[in-house]
């Protein structure tokens, strides 16, 4: 039987909360500093409608706690596509299937669909409580 190597190390974020964190003993799992939505640079190429959608989505993601550092360009593409679709609908023109497909992809990437917002964990057969789940046969 294999032996353990002692107690598991305390994560850095717990040490930060306790006030016992020392950089020389860091494990590298220190969470990044909190981000401020005011620091996000809005791309200049966005139209005014897309810029309004961009800032609105930024506020929503900040309230959800989603960190968007490094995703500004992707969010700008998403906002631009949504602004284009809204303009098409207002003009009485149906968006193309490709535009709708791309929009659905961006919605999933930014967790804007109900299916992408759920963070369900996979439960193993041993802990599911179903006595038939392990082998598909009843246990004696």
Position 103 pLDDT exceeds 90:
yes
Tell me if the pTM is above 0.85: no
User: What residues have CB less than 8 Å from 16, skipping those under 6 apart?
Assistant: 30
Q: With pLDDT > 70 as the criterion, what percentage of the chain qualifies?
A: 76
Kindly report the CA angle at 38 between 86 and 45, in degrees rounded to 5? 45
**How far apart (Å, rounded) are the C-alpha atoms in residues 12 and 52?**
38
Position 33 pLDDT exceeds 80:
no
User: What residues have CB less than 8 Å from 112, skipping those under 6 apart?
Assistant: 106
């Amino acid at each position: 039987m294999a032996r353990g190597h002692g107690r598991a190390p305390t994560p850095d974020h717990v040490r930060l909360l306790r006030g016992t964190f020392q950089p020389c003993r860091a494990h590298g799992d220190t969470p990044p500093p909190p981000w401020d939505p005011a620091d996000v640079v809005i791309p200049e190429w966005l139209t005014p409608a897309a810029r309004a959608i961009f800032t609105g989505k930024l506020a929503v993601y900040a309230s959800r706690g989603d960190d968007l550092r490094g995703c500004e360009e992707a969010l700008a593409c998403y906002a631009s596509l949504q602004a284009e679709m809204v303009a098409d609908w207002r003009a009485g023109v149906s968006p193309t299937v490709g535009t709708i497909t791309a929009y659905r992809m961006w919605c999933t990437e930014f967790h804007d669909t109900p299916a992408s917002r759920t963070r369900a964990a996979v439960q193993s057969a041993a802990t599911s409580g179903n006595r038939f789940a392990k082998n598909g046969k009843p246990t004696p």
